[in-house]
Structure 1
């Protein structure tokens, strides 16, 4: 419940800061789709954080915060945000060709098997529950195989189709991604609930800054906007596949 409350605070702060009105029903739906109750299996993934803890790279609240911030600024989460923005714009414009191109790139750019597994397992689950419970999920994603649909693309397409403005959509998605890593760290480091909430609170400005930067991306080739320098995190995610003892799938 605390994570949901923090999500609501961040979204409402973003709405106020960026001056974009948002209906209460849209806010309610957005919080529902990004809540831990939305059954995409996020609790089963750690994005390689399990390896990072085992090898002593993440040991406390400060190192956990630093690890996640780097993923947002220069790592896998940064790239997911780029693809989220481009997918949202394509879906909003009804450009099915463009959306499929972004979907293909989102899968092709996953750095290793475990990152692809996490992205597509959650993407497929998100589409499955959305189609079963919400009217209006974009039809032009229906013929993409489960193993070829990344979570960032599936979420962006639904938010655009449901009229959720990009600033709120991206902020909520990013907060969800960060919250999942914090939840994993609470079990792995372990961090207590208080330290977990402190990490989320500390990261507000990093999240807002990342969203602002992503919103300013041009409508060009998303490949030119991708990049990263978190090699250790990517290698750690790959190495997680062969860890002897594992609590998480990734």
Structure 2
């Protein structure tokens, strides 16, 4: 006889895989998060430099803050403090440092929210009803993962893995690198993903901050880049 708890856990995990899949219709594949300019400027030119760029962003820059936002959103739901979610979403939206990062986040989160409402409706989505302040994906997915009772020590690393894998895919096309090099890069970032996830589990919005200056500068420069494959 199948354990009903196992059935729920398996279903929740399948949903998480769907939300983080490259096939999820949020347009993530069309954004490089400033990586396109970093390649053109010569800062990223092979597998090693790609890994170093993404690890720095993950541990000290944008990725660091996304992990905190995900973890905080998860706690809001898990601790029955859902009234704090709207304020958290506003803070996360305001934390976008450039116009392209704002576009990247707003368009992906709007598409993500619309798909969730159509395919996986849940009452928590009503919190994000302000069209002028769409939630960043980290807040939305953190809240939904908590609603599905997916353990945060599984959901957060999976979210960060998806974040990194999307940018590795962009790097494979831009440098260019082979598909196997792309997998080597993702594998090389596994420990950084787990470390960042574990640390974020102990952090709050008071710990938000970034030393990812080059990523921000890359995003600013990308807006004026002459030839572009990506939207950011």
Shorter-chain TM band:
over 0.9
**Which structure 2 segments of 5+ residues have no match?**
1-7
Query: Do the aligned residues in 2 keep the contact of 1:120 with 1:146 (CA within 8 Å)?
Result: no
- Partner SS state of residue 53, structure 1: helix
- 1:146 Cα deviation from its structure 2 partner: 6.0
- 1:160 Cα deviation from its structure 2 partner: 1.3
- 1:141 Cα deviation from its structure 2 partner: 2.4
- Partner SS state of residue 194, structure 2: helix
2-structure distance, mates of 1:109, 1:229: 13
Q: How many residues align?
A: 225
For residues 139-218 of structure 1, the aligned pairs below 5 Å read 139-145=125-131, 147-217=133-203
Query: Do the aligned residues in 2 keep the contact of 1:49 with 1:185 (CA within 8 Å)?
Result: yes
TM-score by length of structure 2 reads 0.92
1-structure distance, mates of 2:125, 2:173: 38
Show CA shifts across 1:11-45 (max 9, x none). xxxxxxxxxxx822222221111111111100010
Indicate the residue corresponding to 1:48 in structure 2: 34
- Partner SS state of residue 102, structure 1: helix
1-structure distance, mates of 2:231, 2:123: 28
Query: Do the aligned residues in 2 keep the contact of 1:137 with 1:161 (CA within 8 Å)?
Result: no
Range moving further from structure 2, 176-185 or 81-90: 81-90
Indicate the residue corresponding to 1:126 in structure 2: 112
2-structure distance, mates of 1:67, 1:54: 14
- 1:137 Cα deviation from its structure 2 partner: 4.8
- Partner SS state of residue 223, structure 2: helix
Indicate the residue corresponding to 2:89 in structure 1: 103
1-structure distance, mates of 2:217, 2:128: 33
**Which structure 1 segments of 5+ residues have no match?**
1-21
Show CA shifts across 1:160-218 (max 9, x none). 1122121111111101100110000011001110000000111111111111111122x
Pick the aligned partner of 2:46 from 42, 60, 63. 60
1-structure distance, mates of 2:116, 2:227: 34
Indicate the residue corresponding to 1:35 in structure 2: 21
2-structure distance, mates of 1:234, 1:71: 10
1-structure distance, mates of 2:132, 2:15: 24
Query: Do the aligned residues in 1 keep the contact of 2:161 with 2:193 (CA within 8 Å)?
Result: yes
- 1:84 Cα deviation from its structure 2 partner: 1.0
* Residue 238 in structure 1 maps to residue 225 in structure 2: no
* Residue 247 in structure 1 maps to residue 224 in structure 2: no
